[in-house]
C-alpha cells in the first residue's frame, strides 16, 4: 500500500485555533481585544499568561493576524475577525511572514538576542501594517536581557507591537509587567473541553463515548493541548474508537463506579470489603495514587452537592444521583474528616516505599474512623448522661453503643435515649488544684527566674538588650536595643509561671538595660575612687596612673 504524501499532523496542531471564534474558554479576553481594536485603543505590548495548553501562543498569533489583516479585497483594517485568506493572514498562520518574528526565549535568553530586536525595531515593517515580535516563555530571559528591553518596551515605535507569553508570570520583573497589558488566560472548563473533543472526533470520523470524552477532559486539567494529545493517543489505542474502558486502561484511571462503591464501603466501615475492592483495583493495574485521587474527587463532589453548588456537567447521571443521596445523609463534620483522612493517605501513598500497603493501611484508618461517634454527637450523649445523673466516666461502659454510631449518617438525627440506670455512681471529689507559683515581683526578679530555671540565654538577652518600658505581671513591655525573640520569651514565662504572659516591644522612653545600669554604677564607683585624696595624690606623683578593675567593695575590703 502506498504511503500518504502528506505527513500526519497531531490533533493538537491540526485543530489549533485559526480565529478568535475557535478559541474556547477565553471569552473575556476576546471581548476586551475586540473592543480595543474597534476603538483603536491598542496597547504596544501584551502579556499572555496561564497554564500550559490554554492558548497563549495561539492567541499571540491570532492578535498578529488581527492587527495585520487586510481583508480579501486588500482594503481592510485591523479586525477581531481576521479573514484568514489574505496574504498576511496566510503568511502568519504558516509562520513565514517577514514582519512577524516569533522567538523562543528558552533558547534565546541573552542580551545579544534582545539587542538584535532593539536594533531591528528602528526600521519600518516591510509589508505589514505592524512589525510584531512574539516572545514565548518570556520568563526565561536573563536579567540583562530584561533590562536591555525595558526602554524599547516602554516607548517603542508606532509600527511595533510586542506579544509575550509565559507560564510563570511571577518570574517576570515588575518593571516589565508595568509596561504591558496583561491577559490571564483561564483553565478551560471540563464541559467546554468535552464539547470541543466531541467536535474533533466528529471531524475525524471517530466514534467516541461521551463518558470517555469526559474522562479525557478531566485528565486534561483545563489544557486543550493536553486533552487533544490524550485524545490522539486514545484514538490510536482504540483503533479509531474511543470508549471509557479503554481510556481508563490507557491512563491508569480507576473505574468511577468502583470508586463510588469503595467510598460507600469506607462509610459503612466494612474493612474486608474495602481490602477486597482495593485488591481488585490493584489487579486491574490501577495506581494507588489514582485510587485515592478518585476518592478525593468523590468526597469533594458530595460536599459540593451538599452545599447546593451547581451541578458539574461533566458528571454522569449515576454520579449525580449518588452524590445527591450521600449529601442528604452525610453531615459536614463527616465529610471534612473523610477529606482530611483521604488527603493524608494520598500524601503517604505518594512517598511510601510500598504504595499498595500504604494505601491499605490508610483506608483501614478511615474504616476505623467511620466507627467512631461524631464529636458533636458524643458531647450530646455526655450532656444527656449528666442530665440523667450518670457520670461521664460511665461512657466507657457504653462504648460499643457509641461505636455503632457510624459517621455515614447525618449527626442531626437524634440518637436513641440511654437506658435508665438503676443507681448513679458516686462522682469523685474535685481534684485539688495546686496553686500557681507567684509571679516575679520586678523585672530583676523575672531575669533571675529565667537564669535559675534553665533559660540562661533568654536571661542574658533581657539583661543586655532589653530596656524596661512597663512591668505589670503578666504583662511585659520592653524596648529592645537588639532583636529579641519575644515569642520564645513569652512561652518560657508561661511554662515557668503557669501563666499566660503578654510580651511586646515598644519604641519610646524606657529604662536603661540592666547592663547599662551596671556599667553606669561601675563608672560612678570609679569616679568616687578616682577623686579620693590618696588616689589624687598618686595621680599627681604618677601622671600615667590608671584605675584597673577596682570597685568600692574592694576599697572597703582593703580599708
- With a pLDDT cut of 70, the percent of the chain lying above it is 82
In the CATH scheme, what is the code of domain 190-251? 1.10.8.60
- Please report, in angstroms and rounded to a whole number, the separation of the first and last CA atoms in the chain: 123
Q: What is the reported pLDDT for 537? A: 77
Whether pLDDT at 495 is above 80: yes
Q: Which three cell numbers stand for residue 170?
A: 511571577
Highest mean pLDDT among 3-17, 105-119, 248-262: 105-119
Residues 266, 292 contacting (CB under 8 angstroms): no
Range scoring the smallest mean pLDDT among 43-47, 127-131, 173-177, 218-222: 218-222
CA 69 to the chain's CA centroid = 42
Q: What is the reported pLDDT for 134? A: 92
The 10s digit of each residue's pLDDT in 62-92 is 999 999 898 888 888 888 888 888 988 989 9
The residue with greater pLDDT, 424 or 106, is 106
Whether pLDDT at 422 is above 50: no
Using the Cα atoms of residue 528, residue 529, residue 531 and residue 533 in order, give the sign of their dihedral.
Answer: positive
The band of 253, judged by pLDDT with boundaries at 50, 70 and 90, is: low
- In the chain, what are the domain boundaries? 11-184, 190-251, 256-370, 443-511, 515-558
Q: What is the reported pLDDT for 548? A: 67
CA atoms within 13 A on the CB side of 225: 12
In the CATH scheme, what is the code of domain 11-184? 3.40.50.300
Average pLDDT score over residue span 531-548 = 74
Domain 256-370 and domain 443-511, same fold? Reply is no
Q: What is the reported pLDDT for 376? A: 65
Average pLDDT score over residue span 417-430 = 47
Average pLDDT score over residue span 296-323 = 79
* Three-state helix/strand/coil letters over 465-525: HEEEEEEECCEEEEEECCCCCHHHHHHHHHHHHCCCCEEEECCCCCCCCHHHHHHHHHHHH
The 10s digit of each residue's pLDDT in 388-417 is 555 554 444 444 333 333 444 444 444 444
The band of 425, judged by pLDDT with boundaries at 50, 70 and 90, is: very low
Whether pLDDT at 361 is above 90: yes
Range scoring the smallest mean pLDDT among 67-71, 126-130, 209-213, 534-538: 534-538
Whether pLDDT at 371 is above 80: no
CATH 3.30.300 matches 443-511: yes
* Three-state helix/strand/coil letters over 251-307: HCCCCHHHHHHHHHHHHHCCHHHHHHHHHHHHHCCCCHHHHHHHHHHHHHHHHHHHH
Whether pLDDT at 419 is above 50: no
Integer CA distances (angstroms), 242 to 236, 248, 287, 377, 419, in order: 9, 11, 22, 49, 60
Q: What is the reported pLDDT for 411? A: 42
The band of 558, judged by pLDDT with boundaries at 50, 70 and 90, is: very low
The band of 347, judged by pLDDT with boundaries at 50, 70 and 90, is: very high
Q: What is the reported pLDDT for 310? A: 64
The 10s digit of each residue's pLDDT in 189-217 is 888 888 898 989 888 888 888 888 888 88
Average pLDDT score over residue span 482-509 = 84
Q: Where are the beta strands (DSSP E) in 50-186?
A: 100-104, 131-136, 160-166, 181-184
The residue with greater pLDDT, 345 or 528, is 345
* Three-class secondary structure of residue 10 per DSSP: coil
The 10s digit of each residue's pLDDT in 430-446 is 555 556 667 888 888 88
In the CATH scheme, what is the code of domain 256-370? 1.20.272.10
Mean pLDDT of the chain: 81
Amino acid at each position: 500500500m502506498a504511503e500518504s504524501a502528506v505527513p500526519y499532523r497531531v490533533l493538537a496542531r491540526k485543530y489549533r485555533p485559526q480565529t478568535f471564534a475557535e478559541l474556547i474558554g477565553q471569552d473575556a479576553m476576546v471581548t476586551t481585544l475586540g473592543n480595543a481594536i474597534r476603538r483603536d485603543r491598542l496597547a504596544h505590548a501584551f502579556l499572555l499568561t496561564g497554564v500550559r495548553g490554554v492558548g497563549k501562543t495561539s492567541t499571540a498569533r491570532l492578535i498578529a493576524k488581527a492587527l495585520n489583516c487586510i481583508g480579501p479585497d486588500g482594503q481592510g483594517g485591523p479586525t477581531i475577525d481576521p479573514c484568514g485568506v489574505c496574504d498576511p493572514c496566510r503568511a502568519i498562520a504558516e509562520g513565514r511572514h517577514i514582519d512577524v518574528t516569533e522567538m523562543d526565549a528558552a533558547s534565546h535568553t541573552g542580551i545579544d538576542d534582545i539587542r538584535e530586536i532593539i536594533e531591528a525595531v528602528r526600521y519600518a515593517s516591510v509589508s505589514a501594517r505592524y512589525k510584531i515580535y512574539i516572545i514565548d516563555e518570556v520568563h526565561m530571559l536573563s536579567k540583562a536581557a530584561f533590562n536591555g528591553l525595558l526602554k524599547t518596551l516602554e516607548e517603542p515605535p508606532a509600527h511595533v507591537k510586542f506579544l509575550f507569553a509565559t507560564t510563570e508570570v511571577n518570574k517576570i520583573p515588575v518593571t516589565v509587567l508595568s509596561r504591558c497589558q496583561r491577559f490571564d488566560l483561564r483553565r478551560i472548563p471540563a464541559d467546554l473541553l468535552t464539547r470541543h473533543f466531541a467536535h474533533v472526533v466528529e471531524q475525524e470520523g471517530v466514534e467516541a463515548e461521551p463518558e470517555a470524552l469526559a474522562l479525557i477532559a478531566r485528565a486534561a486539567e483545563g489544557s486543550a493541548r493536553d486533552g487533544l494529545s490524550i485524545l490522539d493517543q486514545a484514538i490510536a489505542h482504540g483503533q479509531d474508537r474511543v470508549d471509557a474502558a479503554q481510556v481508563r486502561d490507557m491512563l491508569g484511571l480507576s473505574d468511577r463506579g468502583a470508586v463510588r462503591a469503595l467510598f460507600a464501603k469506607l462509610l459503612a466501615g466494612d474493612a474486608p470489603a474495602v481490602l477486597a475492592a482495593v485488591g481488585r483495583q490493584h489487579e486491574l493495574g490501577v495506581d494507588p495514587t489514582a485510587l485515592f485521587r478518585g476518592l478525593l474527587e468523590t468526597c469533594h463532589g458530595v460536599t459540593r452537592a451538599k452545599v447546593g453548588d451547581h451541578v458539574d456537567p461533566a458528571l454522569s447521571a449515576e454520579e449525580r444521583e449518588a452524590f445527591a443521596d450521600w449529601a442528604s445523609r452525610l453531615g459536614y463534620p463527616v465529610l471534612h474528616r473523610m477529606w482530611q483522612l483521604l488527603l493524608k493517605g494520598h500524601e503517604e501513598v505518594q512517598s511510601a516505599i510500598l504504595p499498595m500497603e500504604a494505601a491499605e493501611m490508610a483506608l483501614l484508618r478511615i474504616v476505623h474512623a467511620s466507627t467512631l461517634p461524631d464529636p458533636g454527637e458524643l458531647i450530646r450523649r455526655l450532656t444527656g448522661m449528666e442530665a440523667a445523673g450518670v457520670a461521664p466516666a460511665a461512657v466507657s461502659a457504653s462504648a460499643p453503643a457509641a461505636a455503632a454510631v457510624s459517621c455515614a449518617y447525618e449527626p442531626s438525627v437524634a440518637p436513641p435515649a440511654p437506658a435508665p440506670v438503676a443507681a448513679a455512681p458516686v462522682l469523685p471529689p474535685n481534684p485539688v488544684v495546686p496553686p500557681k507559683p507567684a509571679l516575679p515581683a520586678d523585672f530583676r526578679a523575672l531575669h533571675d527566674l529565667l537564669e535559675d530555671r534553665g533559660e540562661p540565654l533568654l536571661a542574658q538577652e533581657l539583661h543586655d538588650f532589653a530596656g524596661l518600658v512597663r512591668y505589670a505581671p503578666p504583662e511585659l513591655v520592653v524596648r529592645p536595643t537588639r532583636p529579641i525573640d519575644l515569642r520564645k520569651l513569652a512561652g518560657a514565662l508561661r511554662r515557668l509561671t503557669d501563666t499566660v504572659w503578654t510580651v511586646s516591644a515598644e519604641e519610646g522612653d524606657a529604662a536603661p538595660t540592666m547592663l547599662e545600669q551596671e556599667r553606669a554604677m561601675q563608672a560612678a564607683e570609679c569616679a568616687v575612687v578616682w577623686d579620693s585624696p590618696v588616689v589624687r595624690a598618686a595621680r599627681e606623683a604618677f601622671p600615667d596612673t590608671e584605675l584597673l578593675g577596682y570597685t568600692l567593695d574592694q576599697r572597703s575590703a582593703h580599708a
